[in-house]
Amino acid sequence: MSTYDYVVIGAGSAGCAVAARLAASGEYEVAVVEAGPPDDLPEIAVPAAFPSLFKGSVDWNYTTEPQKNLNARSDYWPRGKVYGGSSSLNAQIYQRGAHADYDGWAALGNDGWSFADMLPLFKRAQHQERGESEYHGVGGPINVTDLRDPNPLSRAFVAAAVEQGHPANDDFNAATQAGFGLYQVTQKEGTRWSAARGYLHPALDLPNFTVIAPAMVTRLTFDGARCTGCVYDGAVGEQQITARREVVVSGGAVNSPQLLMLSGVGPREQLESLGIPVRRDLPGVGENLQDHLAVPVAYTCTAPITLTGACDPEQGARFLDAKMGLLTSNIGESGGFLTVGESAAPDLQFHFVPGWFVDHGFRNPASGHGFTALPGLVGTRSVGRMWLRSADPQDKPALDPNYLGDDRDMQVLVDGIRIVRDIIASPAFDGYRGAEHLPGDAVRSDDDLREFVRNYVQGLYHPVGTCAMGVDERAVVDPQLRVRGLEGLRVADASIMPVIVNANTNNPSIVIGEKCAEMILNAGG
């Protein structure tokens, strides 16, 4: 049995940050237990190749329960099972979310989580290639940069939005989110820069840092109310590891609540029905599941400049020789934020893809070249839950995000489709715009657009909230991320968000990891 000061479960976006910061202090022995392999697949490094990783060896490959508001469709959820977690197979968009999101967390009683509290951590975590400023830092682990070779279509989307009267915005992570622009990305010199690249790989050189992988944690161990470590399935069968000080669970919004429940921490009635001995009755574990949604508005492109050509040998040569060309695309190159409902912050986000992107990229609405604009719901009001199907750790849990359970969410998406159509009809697209394939010219009325949304909307890979932070009885962790009623156990990942941020969640997840490590170190370990 191996023993360390801190055991971090999961080498994803948050877990990499927690573990590396604790190890860098030089005071503690730190181990990370990760279910997936090292991030050495070449497709991980190539920005435009991430959809090829979907449903492959580094993807947990989850599927939701049939969604009653999506005409009983199930949705596919990719989740990274690899060093870097989902930061190794995401679209690399660098976002923080609105200032009001974090101030809202603090208003719920989560002291220390306001935007003013979080900004120093956002700055510490990044190396902003544009340089240091009021809102940005340099010298941090995560490289943030402008796209090296943005597609002309992505620039046209921004120009067309401005022609429609929307403001331009060249920094969504500064004073305001509203407006349209090219997204900054977590890349360096044209290649992906994941949490593994920024945090985990440098930490591997430290003598007090260990990664155990591939090794799937099956349960936590306890001595009374104190978490003492975990049991995992590794290369030589079942093994146990212990923590002198604390265990930090960083499995994400699916795996963290799953592990807690498998270990007897969760809703008593559910655990007892599965024959799992109850260690701590916490009804909020698995509840409060929230996600973002996006719907594709897709057109033929009359110019042969889209990502359809990314597999051409010429593009491979351009990437290898100069890290330029279509393969440097993060796919969602440009976009913007607008407020269309009653919200303190933008509730509608746009992702523009200079190529086809329908059904997670698994099907194209037409042959040849096309482009897709995806209006997305980010002011999510619908709330779902997840639960265990059995006491077997190998069984995937049931996921019910309750998509469109609140009708206000549907209206945001319908408004977004209409806004996209106006943007694409603008003069900036006159040299590129072909036929509209989705929703199609005949789909115009509110009723028809709602039916289209039910048939085509998809999750945006941002599940959060299932181990929510708070001070009420439904909270799973307190504002220091300690699991309520237990000792020596914290959760640090997107699952602790009490309310989903209104933007891409990878960077906030990393900074949750930074926050966790800071709180541990400030408390003297």
Q: Give alpha helix (H) positions in 426-486.
A: 446-456
Handedness of CA 202, 206, 209, 211 (dihedral sign): positive
DSSP 288-333: SBB--EE--EEEEESSS-SGGGTTSHHHHHHHHHHS-SGGG--S--
Q: Give burial (CB, 10 Å; 0-12/13-18/19+) of 44.
A: buried
- Distance (Å, rounded) from C-alpha 81 to C-alpha 112? 31
What is the phi-psi region of residue 251: left when phi exceeds 0, alpha when psi lies from -120 to 50, beta otherwise?
A: alpha
- Distance (Å, rounded) from C-alpha 442 to C-alpha 378? 27
254, 386 contact by CB (below 8 A)? yes
127 is known as an active-site residue: no
Annotated active-site residue in 99, 127, 351, 462? 462
Rg (CA), the chain: 22
- Distance (Å, rounded) from C-alpha 12 to C-alpha 8? 10
CB atoms within 10 A of CB 297: 27
- Distance (Å, rounded) from C-alpha 167 to C-alpha 161? 8
- Distance (Å, rounded) from C-alpha 58 to C-alpha 234? 16
> 472-490 burial, b if ≥16 CB within 10 A, otherwise e?
eeebbbbbbbbbbebebbb
- Distance (Å, rounded) from C-alpha 246 to C-alpha 133? 36
Three-state DSSP at 145 gives strand
106, 119 contact by CB (below 8 A)? no
466, 286 contact by CB (below 8 A)? yes
- Distance (Å, rounded) from C-alpha 349 to C-alpha 255? 27
Three-state DSSP at 355 gives coil
Max intra-chain CA distance, the chain: 69
2, 242 contact by CB (below 8 A)? yes
Amino acid at 269: E
- Distance (Å, rounded) from C-alpha 301 to C-alpha 151? 13
- Distance (Å, rounded) from C-alpha 198 to C-alpha 126? 9
DSSP 183-247: PEESEETTEE--HIIIIIHHHTTSTTEEEE-S-EEEEEEEETTEEEEEEEEETTEEEEEEEEEEE
Query: The tokens of 439 are what?
Result: 């929703």
**Residues with catalytic roles:** 462
